[in-house]
Homo-oligomer: A and B are copies of this chain.
Amino acid sequence: MTVVKPNYIRPLDIRHGRIDMSHGAGGKASAQLIEELFLAALDNEFLRQGDDGAVLPLPGLDAAQGRLVMATDAHVVSPLFFPGGDVGCLSVHGTINDVAMLGARPLYLSASFVIEEGFPLADLQRIVRSMAAAAREAGVPVVTGDTKVVEQNKGDGVFISTTGVGVLAKDVEISGRRARPGDVVLLSGTIGDHGVAVLSQRESLAFATTIESDTAALHTLVAVMLAAAPGAVRVLRDPTRGGLATTLNEIARQSGVGVLLNEADIAVKPEVQAACELLGLDPLYVANEGKLIAVVAPEAADTVLAAMRAHPQGAEATQIGKISEDPYHFVQMLTRFGGRRVVDWLSGEQLPRIC
């Protein structure tokens, strides 16, 4: 008798395989590529933390004062300009958020640009000015950078990689590995706005209302949450590529738990819902760039939720579910109709080049 492991995935065929768009979509294929190719080669205790950034000791940094946090993101969004933002501010917000999701205070950013020959200087200036405005507003300066140029049709306008560093206070321990059964799952607002804004621009779809990206830096929201209930926030994650569903699956796997969601508590703007229906998308899998998920100790959930709602970026925060015991690490959802369904990982590409 053959026993198939649940969640079995065929290993990458490294000898004959090729990169396809799904490897960049943030779902199962991305996770597999990272595990079997990147982690296998680069393995070290910091990469193995498995979060969207690394927590690092720093010689000379008083352990009583904190640790260093470092996170990086490549931004290949297409189109470069979309309602509510552009690749410039997105590349500032995205990396600040990765640093903030470890509970750290973001301090500095670096930026590297790969620009396609022929790209208009006016567009480049607009992008760099948008970065500058986002960095100023967040109080996190771009302190160093690099610029490379590639021939036409060897790039696509501009790709921007940003890296952020920050400091993590001594008593803060936040990681995708820390969710426990009984914990409460909070979500800071509506989902799907960013992905639908980019896609509608890309496909030149005109809806009655313009749907804007939610791109924003979330570090001040994180700061008020941590201050409201010290030690109570166990996981923070921004549901970008792969959306809420994929991010919750990552947390479930990292922590070895299950997640039980209430569909009715997950807010989607009516115009985003309508656009998703038209485009055949499930908002649970659509990228966000200004929202966060928090897994919080149950006794502090109300306090943290109140702190979120008092902050402009968390005004529409809700409790969307609970962490459960589950040997299969499933994310399940109680539907509006009273049923229950498994919310799986994004398995291929739903929306390529969304961030």
A11-54: contact bitstring with B at CB < 8 Å (1 yes, 0 no)? Answer: 01111111111111100001001100110011110110000111
Interface size class of A (residues with CB under 8 A): 35 or more
Contact A112 B72 (CB under 8 A): yes
In the complex, which of the residues A13, A52, A54 has the most CB atoms of chain B within 10 Å of its own CB atom? A54
| CA of A58 to CA of B163, assembled, Å | 16
Q: Which B residues touch A129, using CB under 8 A? A: 41
A101-126: contact bitstring with B at CB < 8 Å (1 yes, 0 no)? Answer: 00000011011111111111110110
| CA of A147 to CA of B22, assembled, Å | 11
Contact A44 B141 (CB under 8 A): yes
Cross-chain contact of A46 among B60, B144, B353 (Cβ < 8 A) = B144
Distance in Å: Cβ of A169 to nearest Cβ of chain B: 9
Q: Which B residues touch A60, using CB under 8 A? A: 61-62, 65-66, 167
Instruction: Determine the residue in chain B with the shortest Cβ distance to A37.
Output: B125
Q: Which B residues touch A20, using CB under 8 A? A: 117-118, 149
Q: Which B residues touch A145, using CB under 8 A? A: 34, 38, 42, 47, 72
Contact B114 A76 (CB under 8 A): yes
Q: Assess A18 versus B121: contact at CB under 8 Å? Given A72-B110, A110-B72, A128-B37.
A: yes
| CA of A163 to CA of B136, assembled, Å | 21
A204-222: contact bitstring with B at CB < 8 Å (1 yes, 0 no)? Answer: 0000000000000000000
Copies of chain A in the complex: 2
Q: Is A137 an interface residue (CB 8 A)?
A: no
Instruction: Determine the residue in chain B with the shortest Cβ distance to A61.
Output: B61
Instruction: Determine the residue in chain B with the shortest Cβ distance to A73.
Output: B146
Q: Is A135 an interface residue (CB 8 A)?
A: yes
Q: Is A314 an interface residue (CB 8 A)?
A: no
| CA of A146 to CA of B95, assembled, Å | 11
Cross-chain contact of A70 among B17, B108, B119 (Cβ < 8 A) = B108
| CA of A97 to CA of B52, assembled, Å | 26
Q: Which B residues touch A47, using CB under 8 A? A: 141-145
Selected interface stretch from A153-161, A172-180, A294-302, A304-312: A153-161
A–B complex contacts, Cβ < 8 Å, 12 sampled: A13-B121, A14-B122, A15-B122, A19-B115, A20-B117, A30-B147, A34-B147, A41-B132, A58-B107, A74-B161, A114-B161, A155-B156
